[in-house]
A and B are shown apart, each in its own frame.
Chain A
Amino acid sequence: DADVTQTPRNRITKTGKRIMLECSQTKGHDRMYWYRQDPGLGLRLIYYSFDVKDINKGEISDGYSVSRQAQAKFSLSLESAIPNQTALYFCATRGPGAASYNEQFFGPGTRLTVL
């Protein structure tokens, strides 16, 4: 079974709809991240969390919100989806400690299309 899972894997929605993307991990990691990937732009950080009480904005947080329901779960919400939020969304986790060499582990991604 995958260590980092995301649901749904694919979603098509309409402008103005609220949508939630969910991420769960079994790695026991404290740090969790949400990224979006757009062609030609690479992955960009939306939000990250060090534990259930620590939520931080990334470089492109406008239009998004997150919830860390438990150490193992980190959800991303689009309160009112717009077409330029069409992208591939990845959740990632990272283990504890100050070592910045710690690898991040990514989920399989959610392909979101906003019409």
Chain B
Amino acid sequence: RKEVEQDPGPFNVPEGATVAFNCTYSNSASQSFFWYRQDCRKEPKLLMSVYSSGNEDGRFTAQLNRASQYISLLIRDSKLSDSATYLCVVTSWQQNQGGKLIFGQGTELSVKP
């Protein structure tokens, strides 16, 4: 079983749609959680961190459920520019491990006109 699992998609949605991505992680010691965005095989870039209380950044809302080991990302009012691959990322602080990032395989989103 992979440490971080995502539905690979692709998700094809019309502009203006709301789309939700789910992610599960297997290591209960995981401490930090992120969503990264990757455009067309370019480098990943941090989209947002995910906090236990849930957090929102404009049209993006991230949720964390530690009991279920589940992370989600909700995108409202999708734009063409949201088309990308969204990577679920977790990290556990282990001594001398430096907060190693564990990546899901990514979920591809395509927003159509």
Contacts and interface: CB of A to CB of B under 8 A. Distances in A.
B43 A106 contact: yes
Query: From DSSP, what is the main secondary structure of chain B's interface residues?
Result: loop
Interface in A78-115: 88, 90, 94, 98, 100-104, 106-109, 111
Interface stretch (B14-22, B64-72, B74-82, B99-107): B99-107
Contacts of A56: 96, 98
The interface size bin for chain B is: 20 to 34
A28 to B, nearest CB: 17
A103 B46 contact: yes
30 contacts: A40-B105, A41-B105, A42-B4, A42-B103, A42-B105, A43-B44, A43-B87, A43-B103, A44-B103, A45-B101, A48-B98, A48-B100, A56-B96, A56-B98, A58-B100, A88-B41, A90-B43, A90-B44, A94-B98, A100-B93, A101-B49, A103-B34, A104-B46, A104-B101, A106-B43, A106-B44, A106-B45, A107-B43, A109-B43, A111-B41
A100 B43 contact: no
A43 B98 CA distance: 17
Contacts of B1: none
Interface in B4-42: 4, 8, 31-32, 34, 41-42
Nearest to B100: A45
